[in-house]
Amino acid sequence: MDASNFTKWIEEKLIPNLPPNGIIVMDNAPYHSKQVNKPPNFSARKNVMQMWLQEHNIEFDEKMTKRELYMLIKRHKPEKVYFIDEIFRSHGQEVLRLPPYHCDLNPIEYVWNLMKQTVADKNVDQSEKDIERLTKEAIQSITPEDWKRECNHVDRLRDKFWHADRLYELEEQELVISLGGEDSDNESDDNIFSDNEEFDNNDSETMSGVEAF
């Protein structure tokens, strides 16, 4: 699979069979993630960097080195726009991308696992010629109830992650409060100011080895 074949499958097979106003859950496989007008990386040629800056109306000096041009590109790097996402949007579909490295939040991963297990259980002779037939049978064996079960599993897992995040935030707040809180911060600022005043008046005495100018 590559970006070209994936795009063709989406346009010719998937989109014509989708109901209107759908939500497409997309992971971050490379062929899912071809960017529109992707900014040059550091390995790009200098003239390519200059061309990208010109196209985005970003001023630069012709004498800039390649490293300086790249730093300028990084400062103006736009939000990522994916080619596939734009195709779906043009057909009234919304794309929801999974967080990177969180395949456990994608129900299809668990469905694939069910299929693989079905094939493995039936292919007892390890026959390569039977793989295609068994795979097609495994696909047909997946039911709406299977999908619902795996989606519910992902929902529970997501809620677990959210709960863990909230606990972490509460612990962080408690740590801040135990270390002083907002009132303590104000007092600390006052103390710092007082200390600075004392240092200004007696700087040669309070720091050993430092002479006043």
Residue 179: its pLDDT value, please? 66
Does the residue 162 lie in any domain? yes
Look at residue 130 in the predicted model and tell me its pLDDT. Answer: 84
Does residue 210 form part of some domain?
Answer: no
145-149 own/partner pairs: CB under 8 Å, 24+ apart = 146/111, 146/114, 147/107, 147/111
Quote the strand ranges of 8-134, DSSP E. Answer: 23-26, 94-97
For residue range 99-156, what is the model confidence (pLDDT) as tens digits?
877 888 888 889 999 999 999 888 877 778 888 889 999 999 999 999 999 999 999 9
According to the model, what pLDDT value does residue 168 have?
72
Domain span at residue 157 reads: 105-198
Question: Considering only CA atoms, which of 183, 163, 160, 159 is closest in space to residue 171?
Answer: 163
The pLDDT, as a whole number, for residue 203 is 42
Answer whether residue 213 is part of any domain: no
Q: Residue 180: its pLDDT value, please?
A: 60
Q: Which residues of the chain have pLDDT under 70?
A: 176-213
Number of Cβ within a 10 Å radius of residue 39: 17
pLDDT value at residue 128:
80
Domain contains 69? no
Note the pLDDT of residue 70: 92
Main-chain dihedrals φ then ψ at residue 95, nearest 5 degrees = -110, 130
Task: Give the span between the Cα atoms of 32 and 1, in whole angstroms.
Answer: 10
The structural domain count of the chain equals 1
In a domain, 110, yes or no: yes
Which pTM does this prediction carry? 0.53
Q: Is residue 171 part of a domain?
A: yes
As a whole number of angstroms, the distance between CA 100 and CA 81 comes to 16
Position 68 in a domain:
no
Domain assignment present for residue 147? The answer is yes
